[in-house]
Amino acid sequence: MKATHKYLTAAAALAAVTLVPATARAQSAQIGARATVQQALTISAVDSLILGNAFPNTTRAVLPSDAASGSWSLAGAANAEVTLTFSLPGNLTFGANNLPVTFGASSAGYNTSNSRAGLTLVNPLAAATTRLDAGTGNLYVFIGASVSPTTQPAGSYTGAITLATAYTGN
């Protein structure tokens, strides 16, 4: 019995050792984190839209490709995607007098060179998305409009056109 007891004690000790889980050791690995901050997007007003002399019962129109069109210049990260959003007046004003101003579906355009020729036309009534020049990071935006005075008194009518731009993240 003594031998059997020794055998059972040894077997129980071996079973206890095998049933106790080994101490778990934590593992870890480290990775780096990196971000590249790009150049801030800037915009400058260059030329005001000059509709010029408008006569009663005639339409005076300026195309975005005309020398009298309004313009802005943008500078930012090369080839970055940007949105163009226009805030357009419904009227030009002279004191309490209003002169309706019309912006058509092709009244605005942009180019990566500072040229009114070869514009990509856009609708200023809706936001547009494009890219800054891949080499310089520049973009030039131009806008035209039309007026058709009827019974407005003679005078110098004015208004403001705003272009807001932002990176899209692409």
CATH number for the domain that contains residue 152:
2.60.40
In a domain, 56, yes or no: yes
pLDDT tens digits, 98-146: 999 999 999 999 999 999 999 999 999 999 999 999 999 999 999 999 9
In a domain, 49, yes or no: yes
Domains contained in the chain, number: 1
In a domain, 23, yes or no: no
In a domain, 4, yes or no: no
> pTM, whole model, 2 decimals?
0.81
Range of the domain at 93: 42-167
In a domain, 34, yes or no: no
In a domain, 8, yes or no: no
pLDDT tens digits, 31-41: 999 998 989 99
Q: What is the DSSP string of 71-138?
A: EEEEE-STT-EEEEEEE--SEEEETTEEEEEE--TTSEEEESSS-STT-EEE-TTS-EEEE--TTT-E
In a domain, 3, yes or no: no
